[in-house]
Amino acid sequence: MLVAAALCPCPPLLVPAVAAGAAPELDAARTACTDALGVLAAARPDRLIVVGPTWQGETETYPEGTHGSFRGFGVDVGVRLGRNGATDGTEAAVPGTLPPSLAVAAWLLRRTGWSDAPIEGLAVGESLAPERCRDIGREIAAGTERVALLVMGDASACRTLKAPGYLDERAEPFDEAVGRALGSADLAALEALDVELARRLMVSGRAPWQVLAGAAEDAGLGGALLYEDAPYGVGYVVASWS
């Protein structure tokens, strides 16, 4: 059964070494992510599942201990999906197998000193149908084991002229609806997100959020919005459910 969830954005820029001189611009987002992870720890789950988007395939699982790297973003920073997420210098220099969204999650967990429950990763394809997403969530929450989710994903990437997807006037109202849904644990609103519009707005979080909606159907969780902004023209939302 699902006992708590944290929702965080997944830009590699959350890692200060990647952001370099621009790192302070996301300090508030990092602080909010730390607070959200604190809610997970307080729930004392038996297992933590990290759910994040990927461009490739439908779903892919990653066991505890899987390595990742931000070398593709220009820095030799390595992470490991586990209760102690640091890697030594050799591992940091080797490209890992975690997709970027799960590598960012592993970095956040290491930063907050997660040492509670075993961790596993689940990457879901950004084009995965809502029905399949909900089924995956239901499977995660089935049984009596206390499960927590760390759900990674960004809102639209079309908020400004300089955004990755350029300016789209539909982006801001879409992101506002997402913020309301994540902040209030509104399952119906998450399940109703328009797949095609999300694709056009370059929303990476749609499928992971709908996995969460499926997992939370019988959980009775309430939500709290911890952060919402659009630096770099991309919508970032941090929320906690408990």
What is the phi/psi pair of residue 174, to 5°?
-60, -45
Q: Which of 157, 199, 161, 162 is nearest to 175 (CA)?
A: 157
DSSP β-bridge partners for residue 69: 78
58 Rama class: left (phi>0) / alpha (psi -120 to 50) / beta: alpha
By DSSP bridging, strand 59-62 and strand 47-54 are: unpaired
Structural domain for 147, as ranges: 2-241
Question: Which CATH number is 202's domain given?
Answer: 3.40.830.10
pLDDT of residue 82: 86
Phi/psi for 173 (5° steps) reads -65, -35
Count of domains for the chain: 1
Q: Which residues of the chain form beta strands (DSSP E)? A: 2-8, 47-54, 59-62, 67-69, 78-80, 119-125, 147-152, 223-229, 236-241
CA 133/CA 116 separation, integer angstroms: 27
- CA gap 35, 27 in Å, rounded: 13
Measured CA to CA, the distance from residue 189 to residue 62 in angstroms comes to 29
pLDDT per residue rounded down to tens, the chain (242 residues): 999 999 999 999 999 999 998 888 899 999 999 999 999 999 999 999 999 999 877 899 999 999 999 999 999 999 999 876 444 444 443 345 899 999 999 999 999 999 879 999 999 999 999 999 999 999 999 989 999 999 999 999 999 999 999 999 999 999 999 999 999 999 999 999 999 999 999 999 999 999 999 999 999 999 999 999 999 999 999 999 99
Alpha-carbon torsion, ordered 205, 211, 217, 223, to 10 deg: -30
E strands in 87-155: 119-125, 147-152
Helix, strand or coil, per DSSP, at residue 150 = strand
Q: Is the dihedral of CA 158, 161, 165, 168 positive or negative?
A: positive
User: What's the whole-model pTM score?
Assistant: 0.93
For residue 6, list its beta bridge partners.
150, 240
> Do 229 and 28 touch, CB atoms closer than 8 A?
yes
> Residue 136 phi/psi, 5° resolution?
-60, -45
Task: Say what the pLDDT of residue 84 is.
Answer: 62
Q: Are 150 and 50 in contact (CB under 8 A)?
A: yes
